Amino acid sequence: MVHRLSVFDQADAAPDALDRRLDLSALSWEGVGWIAAALLAALVRLTQLTTWPLGADEARVATDGLALATGGTLSNDAWTHPLVVEAEGLAMFLFGPSDGVVRLVPALAGLGAIALLWPLRRWVGRGAALSAAILLALSPTLAFTARQAGAGSLLVAGSLLFLALLLHHLSQPTTLSAVATGAAAGLLLLTGPLGWVGLPLTAGAGIAMAGGRHARLRDLSGLAVGLLLVLITLSTVLFTRPAGFSAFISGSLGTLWREHLASAGTQWWMTPLVLVADEFLLLVLAVVAVWQVLVNREKLPFGTARPARAILAWAAVGTVVATIVAGSGADRYSLAVLPLVLAGGVGLGALVGGIDWAEVWSGRGLAFVVAVFLTFAALLSTFNTLGSTPATSARFAWLLTLAILILLVLVPLLLATVWLARRLNQPATGLVGLAALLVLGGVTLHTGVMLGATNVNRPGEPLLIGSTAPAVERWITRIERLSADLTTFTQNVQDPTGGHGFTIVLDEEIAQPFAWYLRDFPNLRVVDADEPATGTTPPDVVIALPEHVPALLGEHTDYVPRPYALTVPVPPSFAQPDWGALLASLTDPAQIRHFTEFLIDRQVSNPAEPRAFALVLRSDHAERVYGPTTETESR
């Protein structure tokens, strides 16, 4: 008779959690790669997440999210991106209002986009999907969208969710999959006005990737049901605001026309600029993917040639659309960057898959890889020397240095690299290309990590244009501390804790993000400079554009205005590019050297003055902040 252990006996017989063996043999290299991609994405997106203060658009989203969480009134802008506002409202309802919570939603969406690449392995291959995950984690543009409260990160995640569900539905069509695909399409539209642009791009790419697979006609009703169900449910905030659906349709489409389509082609060069400056790695890998699809198709995994062609077409069309569509911000650039990530994944996956890694880890392979890196360093040093302009007195030393670099360093390294390449049992081009991509990957990672740095001036970073200057939050903190020092015991129904007794007037044109940070002040007023009815009580603080200060102060003269940086400006070379000089620089070693330096330090030769705001303090407050020698005449 066999005695069977009960569930409780089995639990008692099982070893403790700390005594159990951890079997790592079941973890494949592919699994390690996906974990590494997720950790890399978290590093780039969560490091220094709140060092930059919220931008004006972020503050509007945060204000609407807080209003939704507390039952307040939403602004008209909220109905152009209901999904963003509702996600922010849920986060604030759970964790309270703060900059970290506001940016938690896009950060989680950015991490979720990594997971949404997993279902694409069936269509593009395991190597290409993993490579795309690594590239998505590295991409500065997509990292920036995940660090900014707004539609960008949800637009990327929504596009990938819709693509995965659409491909699943086209391969195994059912009514349930049709409803789920329609629901994903609705979520994509609810992310913002550019969702109306991203939806047809993603749908066309998915249909082309699926090839001959077509949905059944009867499933169109399921798609429509899922789409309308999500649109109506979320745009009305779970049916609590019935007018939300019509407000979403009119507001989202109206904003799409006014801000993106009516002025199409405005500053079209910004998208190519971002791709070259921040996504150069993706451009190189997209070229590799084109070569693999057109010339070396047999090296692609079985059944992935058609999806690869569809992704390349999506990347080309997406880049053109992102170039033409007006507007600024990473959400616009993501229309091109997302398909380029997938195209780059195809190129990188094919490149890595064609390398004999057993030989790479052997003595000859390692020696060749080291020689390639040393040759790259010697080439970079040679170009750096060629690009320098020595003085007349130092020309002989410059020529001597150049001769030593070429004859004693570069040429021997080139000869050694060629000699080692001939001893390999595989083409050396793959290893050389991979070494170059590792260098570009390091530069790309550096760019992504530096997006959160505020202690280094990087005026040439195009993604940061329009961001709120770090000094804004510091001065808001000074105002809050000063008010707390002077009005702590001034408690009332509107300010039960005290410390927020200052009367603050904000210029309507630059009200955000100041209104978000000063939301606890009950005597906060947003005023139109053309109608400056500031009330009978003289304000303690006025924050306005410098040219609006006289109108807002009126007859009050006992105030001290000081200008400070408000936003990161557009460099003149970005606002009005010199196309002739750009074309001539392609063959100028000095300009090539400057470009390589620009990729790292983002310095420009002629930085612009930032847009300024005036912090106007009452004279007695200014004396506490600036010292007793403060001027008291308004400026």
- 187, pLDDT greater than 80: yes
One-letter amino acid of 457:
N
Distance of alpha carbon 287 from alpha carbon 277, whole angstroms: 17
pLDDT band of residue 18 (cuts 50, 70, 90) is: low
- Position 634 scores a pLDDT of 39
- Rounded CA-CA distance 135/146 in Å is 14
Model pLDDT for residues 354-369, shown as the tens digit of each residue: 888 888 888 788 888 8
Residue written as token pair 């066999």: 2
Residue 493 has pLDDT above 60, yes or no: yes
For 503-527, what is each residue's pLDDT tens digit? Answer: 999 999 999 999 999 999 999 999 9
Round the average pLDDT of the chain to a whole number and report it: 87
Residue 106 near residue 147 (C-beta atoms within 8 A) = yes
From 311, 194, 309, 182, select the one nearest 260 (Cα to Cα): 194
DSSP labels for 536-603? SSPPSEEEE-GGGHHHHHTT---EEEEEEEEEPPPPHHHHS--HHHHHHGGG-HHHHHHHHHHHHH--
- Above 90 in pLDDT, residue 401? no
**What is the rounded average pLDDT of the residues 438-445?**
92
For residues 120 and 128, give the distance between their C-alpha atoms in angstroms, rounded to a whole number: 9
CA distance 178 to 517: 44
| DSSP H stretches of helix in 116-194 | 121-124, 126-138, 140-145, 151-171, 175-190
pLDDT at 244 over 70: yes
Which one, of 330, 461, 602, 442, lies nearest residue 40 by Cα? 442
- The letter for the amino acid at 243 is A
Q: Which residue has the tokens 């807080």?
A: 66
Give tens-digit pLDDT for 257-314.
999 999 888 889 999 999 999 999 999 999 999 999 988 887 777 678 899 999 999 9
Distance CA 375, CA 361 (A): 20
